[in-house]
A = this chain, B = another copy of it.
Amino acid sequence: MEENKIKNDAITSRDEDFAKWYTDVCRKAELMDYSSVKGFIIYRPYGYAIWEQIQSYLDRKFKESGHENVYMPLVIPTSLFQKEKDHVQGFAPETLIATIGGSNKIDDPLIIRPTSEVLFCEHYAKIISSYRDLPKKYNQWCSVVRWEKTTRPFLRGSEFLWQEGHTMHESEQEARHETLSMLEVYNNMGRDLLAVPFVTGRKTEKEKFAGAVETYSIEALMHDGKALQSGTSHYFGTGFTEAFNITFQDKNGKMQHPFQTSWGVSTRLIGSIIMVHGDDNGLVLPPAVAPIQVVIIPIQQQKPGILGAAKELFSLLKAKGIRVKLDDSDRTPGWKFAEWEMKGVPLRIEIGPRDLANAVITVAKRNDGTRETIPLADCETEVNRLLKVIHEEMYEKAFQFLLSHTVEVQSMEEINHVLNDVTGYAKMMWCGKQECMDVIKDKYNATARVMPFNQIPFGEEKCPVCGKEAHKVVLVAKAY
């Protein structure tokens, strides 16, 4: 009963308080709930089903490109964790550590995995000995734990769900190719599944992953103009393979260290979807990832024929592989409209006495609220067409937003204007010194998101912070 009350409450408006709007949507669309431990959220059925769609898409892409799933232990002995020194420095401050097992003190305390590089390396050291054993392209789906001070549902959790790919290669070239091709898989996922246009590129030295040679990322721009790092792909070189003494005999009989990559995306992607597409009525889900793509709402369902027609339509669409729900509960149509809008179902079908009499159905698109009637006879084709249209419109809208919130800057005033008035990415030429980025961080609380692949210089090719010669193009933004 309490829950029903919540559902009917309006949510905070996006423009009034974006942060509150976000948590309202997370809870009222029933994506998640809090547990009694801070930062450990409960993924409710509707939220988990979105993750399952993402998993299903990526798992297929991974397998098609020759990757294999494995499962590594949940725990890492402290002594093992400390083998690669950059890595341990990056993660040690936020680890959860188990010290008691079966009522006894554990001599080498167990770190709950924050990421599994060291576990994969330890295993690879045992199973790789010849070039014949390469490449090894493993992935795992699991949860990881990072003890965070400030937590927000999906965006930053002490526990989150993710996939982590860890691969080993004969040559630097092959490993670099893997790093970028997995970034491409993620980028395509944005375009084809999430309707989110990512900005991609390389991270600066400061922002790269602990222990990586190079980190690439996909960054999404939220409605409030802040960036969200939504996935990363790392090239490791031989840093870990040397530390873990992983060697193979190459084709010429010479012993070598293999070249390594890792890459991952997490349930943070759900946060991206919410903050890129959502509106003041709640969630707006891209059709490809929506657990329910179409909801059918009978109007005056007690009248003869209505429910029968709605059920027939439901069966027809379901048989065609569309994820459809018939809401024939005893709520009013108005309540149902609000409920399924809150949950972001892409397409609503209304079927009432007048529709039935005219052999039509009324369809409403969640992304822009437009309604139209279509002949019942064409419903299958039309529903599929509309789902495609919705995807394209959502992507296009997000893309236009990204374009209009990415502005070239050549001075501190312009940086200030873009970060605080336009809100979005300040695209600047950078001298390459971290001190200049630190100034921007101090003044505007913004960071270098990526150095985009497109590095065409512009303007006077000077760093707006120090005024010195600048050859790198960097996107700077406030970020989650």
Residue on B with the closest CB to A129?
A: B1
Asked whether B48 lies within 8 Å of A143 as measured between CB atoms, the reply is no
Residue on B with the closest CB to A144?
A: B74
Q: Is A36 an interface residue (CB 8 A)?
A: yes
Q: Is A145 an interface residue (CB 8 A)?
A: yes
Q: Is A480 an interface residue (CB 8 A)?
A: no
Asked whether B110 lies within 8 Å of A96 as measured between CB atoms, the reply is yes
Q: Is A235 an interface residue (CB 8 A)?
A: no
By a CB distance below 8 angstroms, the chain B residues around A37 are: 73, 75, 77, 110
Expressed in whole angstroms, the minimum distance between the Cβ of A70 and any Cβ of chain B is 5
Kindly identify which residue among B70, B77, B80, B133 contacts A48, using a CB–CB cutoff of 8 Å. B70
Stretch of A15-23, A98-106, A373-381 contacting B (4+ beta carbons < 8 Å): A98-106
Q: How large is the interface on A (under 10, 10 to 19, 20 to 34, 35 or more residues)?
A: 35 or more
Asked whether B73 lies within 8 Å of A127 as measured between CB atoms, the reply is no
Kindly identify which residue among B48, B77, B98 contacts A98, using a CB–CB cutoff of 8 Å. B98
Contact digits for A1-21, partner B, Cβ 8 Å, 1 yes 0 no: 111000000000000000000
Residue on B with the closest CB to A148?
A: B102
A159-B73 in contact given A96-B100, A127-B3, A249-B1 (Cβ < 8 Å): yes
Of residues 66 through 84 on chain A, the ones whose CB sits less than 8 Å from some CB of chain B are 68-75, 77, 80
Kindly identify which residue among B3, B77, B129 contacts A36, using a CB–CB cutoff of 8 Å. B77
Of residues 98 through 157 on chain A, the ones whose CB sits less than 8 Å from some CB of chain B are 98-103, 109-110, 112, 119, 122-123, 126-127, 129-130, 133, 138, 142-143, 145, 147-149
| A residues lining the B interface (CB < 8 Å) | 1-3, 33, 35-37, 40-45, 48-49, 51-52, 68-75, 77, 80, 93-103, 109-110, 112, 119, 122-123, 126-127, 129-130, 133, 138, 142-143, 145, 147-149, 158-159, 161, 249
Q: List 27 A-B residue pairs with CB atoms under 8 Å apart, sorted by A's residue number.
A: A1-B249, A3-B129, A33-B123, A35-B72, A35-B73, A35-B123, A36-B77, A36-B80, A37-B75, A41-B73, A42-B70, A42-B119, A43-B71, A44-B70, A45-B69, A52-B69, A74-B74, A75-B96, A75-B159, A95-B101, A96-B98, A97-B99, A97-B100, A98-B112, A99-B99, A100-B109, A142-B143
**6 closest A-B pairs (Cβ-Cβ)?**
A40-B73, A45-B68, A102-B147, A43-B71, A97-B100, A101-B147
